[in-house]
Structure 1
């Protein structure tokens, strides 16, 4: 029996990926240059034991998540992700923030998912544009930072 498709590409390349948000098919918005901040980190507390000078105890506390940062060329106003970010960041809390589910897909050459991460209860906390410079010939980049409650690898 041949190995599963995901195991044929090990280790998988990191340059072909897609990001989706929300549960509606029209909320797909996957043209990103870079995704960072995916994964939990365990906070620890340092405890010094009296009379013991050779080590300290590191005790586990809560799991925390860094901000998920999405970078891409500046999107058009039709981008549903941009519209969601604007409604949250420029809405002045007139409406409650509606967190979204996101998925990050690592893809093979044919566009089939090799790995999938689910990001729960994400909402935008910052939207910025990288500096414009007359001496460079580069794409104008926007960065969207999202806070999220948790993530899990599905595949």
Structure 2
């Protein structure tokens, strides 16, 4: 019987459908889904309310990486926030195994930039400049 080892979360890649060469990120957050509910009171039943599912909700996708000068991804973000030229695209986040083979791929549908920020600059510290890109999206599915 083979032993099972859960996958490690540091080996992954991010791919944008319409933007080339933007796959190196240090972290990805927001791959979760929540089922929202509505409380319904039943006449004559005062002990509890029925919870009925209504829709799913997805948090924003947050990507972090060392700052890249002249990046097509940052141009896409700047076009959206500076010019309101919003061009949604799909994003694939793939968890890889030790042989660089895909284990699971999340297909994020209709993503567009919501926020772009860089870390603070300080002459008292010697650390990398990290840019954070926050994307809104409709939903994801697992391929």
Q: What TM bracket, shorter-length normalisation?
A: 0.7 to 0.9
Q: CA shift at 1:84, angstroms?
A: 0.8
Provide structure 1 residue ranges, at least 5 long, that are not aligned to the other structure: none
Residue correspondence of structure 1 range 1-155 to structure 2 within 5 A:
10-23=5-18, 27-77=20-70, 79-91=71-83, 93=84, 95=85, 97-154=86-143
Q: Alignment RMSD, CA only?
A: 2.1
Q: CA shift at 1:55, angstroms?
A: 2.2
Would the alpha carbon gap of residues 36 and 62 (structure 1) be closer, same or farther in structure 2, given more than 3 Å must change? same
Would the alpha carbon gap of residues 132 and 48 (structure 1) be closer, same or farther in structure 2, given more than 3 Å must change? farther
Q: CA shift at 1:11, angstroms?
A: 1.2
**Number of aligned residues:** 142
TM, length-normalised to structure 1 = 0.80
Q: CA shift at 1:35, angstroms?
A: 0.5
Provide structure 2 residue ranges, at least 5 long, that are not aligned to the other structure: none
Larger displacement relative to structure 2 (63-72 or 45-54): 45-54
TM, length-normalised to structure 2 = 0.86
Would the alpha carbon gap of residues 52 and 84 (structure 1) be closer, same or farther in structure 2, given more than 3 Å must change? same
